[in-house]
Structure 1
């Protein structure tokens, strides 16, 4: 019984960390796009 609880907790932790990584990636992409736009504007 305790083994399945530990397994469930582990899976939940992995799911949370994947979601965190996804969030960070999305934020990074938005930042990069914003910086690219700024660079393009400076070139003009």
Structure 2
């Protein structure tokens, strides 16, 4: 397998079953702060 070189990551989107549970995991366990919430453009409020 050949290694892939990268200069960085622009963004990552993850979808989970429970919003707050997912946020708690990523912030609490992995230490990644929640900084932006993208509205669902397919279902405007």
TM-score bucket (shorter structure): under 0.3
Q: Larger Rg: 1 or 2?
A: 1
Select the structure with the greater relative contact order (CA < 8 A; seq sep ≥ 6): 2
